[in-house]
Each structure stands twice: as C-alpha cells, then as structure tokens.
Amino acid sequence: ILAGCATTSSNVATVGAYRDSIDLSGRLSVNYQKEGRQESLTGNYDWTQRPGRVDVTLANPLGQTIATIEVTPQSATLTQSGRARVSEADIDTLTQRTLGWPLPVAGLRDWLQGYAVDAQGQRFSASPARNEVVTQDGWRLRFVEWQDPDAPQPVPRLIHADRAAVGDIQDLQIRIVV
C-alpha cells in the first residue's frame, strides 16, 4: 500500500540545510480508531512549500483531487469539491474539524525534510543512525527509509508518524512516502 514513487524538485537536494521552498509529491496512508471502529484512507499528495505559505493537494488513489489545503501564518483553508470552503485560524484546528483527525501539516514542514522539534523543544535532525523522536506535540516519528542514506543530511523517503490519542481519535497512524 505504501509502494509509490515521489518526485522532488531541485530545491530539495540531498544536501544538509533546511529549505524554506520545496515541492514534493508522494503517498500517504492514515489509520485510526473512532468510536470503536477502525477507519483508514490512502491517497496521494502534492506539497508546495514557500516562505509563509504551504499548499497541499490530496488525491484519491486514482489521482482525482479530493481536497486542497492552503496554509498561511494568518489562516488555513480547506477546499473540497462540491462543498463550501472552510477556514480556521490554524491548520490543526482546520484538519481536525473537517477531516475528523489532525493532519499535522505544521509539523510536516519539518518532517518531510528530516527535522522535528522534540518533546524538550530542541531541534532534532534525523539520520539513518538517529531516526526516531517524540515531538513537542506528542507525535512519535520514525524516519524509516531515506532517499540517499549516505548524504550529509539525508532526506526521508518513508516516515511513520503515530499518536496514541487525539480527542476522540485513538491509535492514529500516518505513513508518508516522499
């Protein structure tokens, strides 16, 4: 289910520094329990990140767009076909309200490049030898596979993100192929 290909632009070379501008695509899989029922979804994503803005397009496995998300420092907006646009002050509130589970877009800005902020508020830089961290907001991240594991700062290819509970969602698991 996680087999998929991804592309990265020249803005995401396998060199060491964090980049404010990246273009990525890949696949994601989400599994969780809600009200005692197991729920899941899989699909594709396109991620465009620029200073002060993130645009995410979510598509079903056949490539049809199911939602677009626009995030700026002032607001987050979700657009779905046939539905009114929904806006909130931040992305976590927006995704929880509209998707029923928190898509961690704020954290993904770092995670997709192999970084995170750990539970103590310290900057974490993942590598094949140091590939697991619990984030400040409670996500357990495992950077499982790498685009080029021998690069000075490898870029992740497969990320597992897990949270025990978020509101009425239990056992939330997100698998991201970059």
DSSP string covering 97-147: HHHSS---HHHHHHHTTTEEEBTTS-EEE-BTTB-EEEBTTS-EEEEEEES
Question: What average pLDDT does this structure show over 29-52?
Answer: 93
Q: What is the dihedral of CA 51, 174, 24, 60, to 10 degrees?
A: -120
pLDDT value of residue 14: 35
Give the tens place of pLDDT for each residue, 55-114: 999 999 999 999 999 999 999 999 998 899 999 998 888 987 887 777 788 789 899 999
What tens digit of pLDDT does each residue of 143-178 get?
999 999 888 888 999 999 999 887 788 899 999 999
Q: What is the mean pLDDT of residues 4-15?
A: 36
Residue 17: Cβ within 10 Å count? 9
Chain segment 135-150, per-residue pLDDT in tens: 998 999 999 999 998 8
What's residue 16's pLDDT?
54
Tokens 């002032």 — which residue?
Answer: 74
- Per the CB < 8 A criterion, the answer to whether 136 and 117 are in contact is yes
Report residue 3's pLDDT band, with 50, 70 and 90 as the boundaries. very low
pLDDT at 7 over 50: no
Give the pLDDT confidence score for residue 86 in this predicted structure: 96
pLDDT at 12 over 80: no
